[in-house]
Amino acid sequence: MHHDRIEMTFIHQPLQITPIEAITSDDGSRVYVTPKGDRYPSVTTVLGTVEKPELIEWRNRVGDHAADKKTRTSARRGKALHTMVEDYLNNTNSTIPDATMPLNTMLFKSIRGILDRNVEIVRAQEATLYSDFLETAGQVDLAARWDGTDSIVDFKTKEKPQKIQWMDQYFIQTSAYAVMIEELTGRPIPQLVILVAVEDGDPQIFITKRDKYISKFIEIRKKYNA
pLDDT in tens, 51-75: 665 665 656 676 767 656 776 777 7
Region 68-84: mean pLDDT is: 79
With 50 as the cut, is the pLDDT of residue 96 above it?
yes
The answer as to whether 56 is a domain residue is: yes
CA distance 52 to 56: 7
The answer as to whether 82 is a domain residue is: yes
Kind and range of the H or E run holding 156: strand 149-158
* Tens of pLDDT, residues 107-117: 999 999 999 99
Write the CATH number for 77: 3.90.320
Strands in 21-24's sheet, in edge-to-edge order, are 21-24, 30-33, 39-41
pLDDT band at 119 (very low <50, low <70, confident <90, very high): very high
The answer as to whether 5 is a domain residue is: no
DSSP code of 142?
A: E
* Tens of pLDDT, residues 16-53: 999 999 998 887 778 999 999 999 999 999 998 776 65
Residue pair 145/121 in contact by the 8 Å Cβ criterion: yes
pTM for the whole structure: 0.89
User: Which domain range does residue 54 map to?
Assistant: 14-225
Total domains in the fold of the chain: 1
What burial letters (b/e) apply to 158-172, b meaning 16+ CB within 10 Å? beeebeeeebeebbb
Q: Is 8 helix (H, G, I), strand (E, B) or coil?
A: coil
The answer as to whether 25 is a domain residue is: yes
Distances (CA, A) of 163 to 65, 76, 93: 27, 23, 32
Half-sphere exposure of 203 (CA within 13 A, CB side): 19
The answer as to whether 63 is a domain residue is: yes
The answer as to whether 183 is a domain residue is: yes
The answer as to whether 71 is a domain residue is: yes
CA distance 30 to 142: 20
* Tens of pLDDT, residues 156-188: 999 899 999 999 999 999 999 999 999 999 999
* Tens of pLDDT, residues 124-165: 999 999 999 999 999 999 999 999 999 999 999 998 999 999
Residue type, 182: E
